Amino acid sequence: DAGVIQSPRHEVTEMGQEVTLRCKPISGHDYLFWYRQTMMRGLELLIYFNNNVPIDDSGMPEDRFSAKMPNASFSTLKIQPSEPRDSAVYFCASSPGLADTGELFFGEGSRLTVL
Amino acid sequence: AQSVTQLGSHVSVSEGALVLLRCNYSSSVPPYLFWYVQYPNQGLQLLLKYTTGATLVKGINGFEAEFKKSETSFHLTKPSAHMSDAAEYFCAVAGSARQLTFGSGTQLTVLP
């Protein structure tokens, strides 16, 4: 398996622009997570899905952020409009549908810079 | 609710020396505990995990960790550091298994 695939790896945009980050989880994994990593706040869970259904989005910072999972092999995280404080590395991770393993498989991340 | 505290944001050791990275947790339920490693410009990878059973857990690359309930600790050790161990290490706790709370990370530097 190719692992969790994220795109783009790097994105530089200007404040106010829409940003869409994409994720393809490992085939057969029932859970998908979006994390944000910054120097100041470390790793923060933004949202996670189980079988394509959002379960907990309490970590989404504000209404400018939205996430979707239209099918088992694809998810997006969208920021509209983007702001400089959104600059971070965004990670997607997936997890198999086994009880209580807690093992996450991470993608290589999308580094976002908002100017 | 659960939380993780990693003592020391930066740790330096000489090649061949003992590696000790400290992690303390709090959890309202019996915890599942994890150590992840992040190499530059990569995602996190699982090093080892404790769920139930034996409290001394062995992971990849010669790392191990011991769950000590009385001390609420899950410190990571390796007897002999290698240059390739230089990375950032994250301790994590799960109350419900699907939601991990990560510590702030410890950057390990290995000196030649």
pLDDT by residue (tens digit) across A85-112? 999 999 999 988 655 566 889 999 999 9
Reported as a pLDDT band with limits 50, 70 and 90, residue B99 is confident
* Cβ pair B44:A102 closer than 8 A: no
Expressed in percent and rounded to 5, the helix, strand and coil fractions of chain A are 5, 55, 40
Rounded CA Rg of chain A: 13
* Cβ pair B49:A103 closer than 8 A: yes
B49 and B107 in contact (C-beta within 8 Å)? Answer: no
Q: Residue A84's pLDDT is what?
A: 96
Q: Using a CB-CB distance cutoff of 8 angstroms, which residues of chain A are in contact with residue B102?
A: 42-43
Q: End-to-end distance of chain A based on CA atoms, in angstroms?
A: 36
Q: How far apart are CA B18 and CA A44, in angstroms?
A: 30
Identify the residue with better confidence: B90 or B32.
B90
**Who among B44, B97, B105 is closest to A102 (CB)?**
B97
Q: Residue B31's pLDDT is what?
A: 84
Distances (CA, A) of B40 to A7, A32, B27: 18, 23, 30
* Cβ pair B103:A42 closer than 8 A: yes
- Beta bridge partners of residue B37, listed in sequence order: B45, B89
- Beta bridge partners of residue B107, listed in sequence order: B10, B88
B76 and B19 in contact (C-beta within 8 Å)? Answer: yes
Model pLDDT for residues A25-62, shown as the tens digit of each residue? 999 999 999 999 998 888 999 999 999 999 989 999 88
Q: Residue A66's pLDDT is what?
A: 97
Residue B102 structure tokens: 């990560």
Give the gap in angstroms from C-alpha B98 to the nearest C-alpha of chain A: 5
Reported as a pLDDT band with limits 50, 70 and 90, residue B20 is very high
Q: Residue B95's pLDDT is what?
A: 67
